[in-house]
Amino acid sequence: MSNLILLILSSFFIITEAYTVIDVSNVLDDIENEINLSENDLYLLTEKLYGDDNMVDVKLYYECHCPDCKRFDKNEFGPAVEKLSRYLNIETYPYGNAQTIENNGMLKFKCQHGPAECYGNKLHACAIDYFQNTTTAVLFNICMMGYDEGLGSNDLAADRCALSMSVQSKYIKACARGERGSELLKYYGEESKKANFSYVPYILINGQLSDGTNFLRDVCAQFHVLPPPCRTYFNKYV
């Protein structure tokens, strides 16, 4: 009895499948009349061809009080991250031209814009560590860079940015004051030395240097399949 049901069921599926195949060719004939794909549908379909290959790698080396880094964050990096973060593998290195000094197991740092910058870089490093979500951490750090009471990237900036993003700042500040902050900054120092740059912001897109004056364009140029925000960009500007 149950075998009979199974047989009936499977014939049904075979028939259904056969029917589907025929149906698809009909749809293909009339595709322009029958289906209007949104830009996002089109992206999701074509993206499958490339999978993770359609993600673009972005590496940003910076220090929190450098004016050019702040400008880049505000005018270029921030807007691009907001539009494109889901299509990017972002890694940020808040260290810049600092120096790490290890003395009898004690870690000290010298920063281009003084001790407040070392502390700010630690806040940035601790945010990346704390959020465990690159997009959230990067947006938080961009917010701290743009906070313009004082030089930004200080405790007050951390509090205000945390408030505006409905997240906590207390663990980030505690980390920045403690050993964890120093360990993280040391790590970013080592990674920065490997990149061998001589100025910041130092921006790599899929390993290629970008001068940062038109970051969105440079990022969009790297996709095999343009994600919707890049389509909009190219329609407007090309």
Ligand X SMILES: *[C@@H]1O[C@H](CO)[C@@H](O)[C@H](O)[C@H]1NC(C)=O
If binding is defined by CB under 6 A, does position 232 make contact with ligand X? no
State which residue, 151 or 158, has the beta carbon closest to ligand X: 158
Give the shortest CB-84-to-ligand X separation in angstroms: 12
Q: Specify the 3-state DSSP secondary structure of 121.
A: helix
Give the shortest CB-140-to-ligand X separation in angstroms: 10
What is the amino acid identity at position 120?
Answer: G
State which residue, 136 or 168, has the beta carbon closest to ligand X: 136
Q: From CA 79, how far away is CA 134, in angstroms rounded?
A: 15
Give the shortest CB-139-to-ligand X separation in angstroms: 7
Give the shortest CB-136-to-ligand X separation in angstroms: 5
State which residue, 103 or 198, has the beta carbon closest to ligand X: 198
Number of other residues whose CB lies within 10 A of the CB of residue 19: 10
Give the shortest CB-223-to-ligand X separation in angstroms: 19
Query: What backbone torsions phi and psi does residue 201 show, to the nearest 5 degrees?
Result: -70, 140
If binding is defined by CB under 6 A, does position 164 make contact with ligand X? no
Per-residue binder mask for ligand X (CB under 6 A), 9-48, x = binder: ---------------------------x------------
Residue with tokens 């919707």: 228
- For the chain, helix, strand, coil in percent to 5 are 65, 15, 25
If binding is defined by CB under 6 A, does position 166 make contact with ligand X? no
Sign of CA dihedral 17, 21, 22, 28: positive
Task: Tell me the two tokens of residue 234.
Answer: 């190219």
Q: Which residues contact 179 (CB under 8 A, 6 or more apart)?
A: 107
If binding is defined by CB under 6 A, does position 214 make contact with ligand X? no
Out of 198, 207, 235, 236, the only residue in the binding site for ligand X (CB under 6 A) is 198
User: Under a CB-based contact definition with an 8 Å cutoff, are residues 144 and 109 in contact?
Assistant: no
Q: Where are the alpha helices (DSSP H) in 39-178?
A: 39-50, 67-72, 78-84, 115-131, 134-146, 155-164, 170-177
| Length of the chain as a residue count | 238
If binding is defined by CB under 6 A, does position 168 make contact with ligand X? no
Q: Which residues contact 23 (CB under 8 A, 6 or more apart)?
A: none
State which residue, 47 or 154, has the beta carbon closest to ligand X: 47
User: What residues from 93 to 152 belong to the interface with ligand X (CB under 6 A)?
Assistant: 133, 135-136
Give the shortest CB-31-to-ligand X separation in angstroms: 11
State which residue, 104 or 196, has the beta carbon closest to ligand X: 196
Out of 149, 196, 235, 238, the only residue in the binding site for ligand X (CB under 6 A) is 196
Which helix (H) or strand (E) element contains residue 159? helix 155-164
Contact residues for ligand X (CB under 6 A)? 36, 133, 135-136, 196, 198
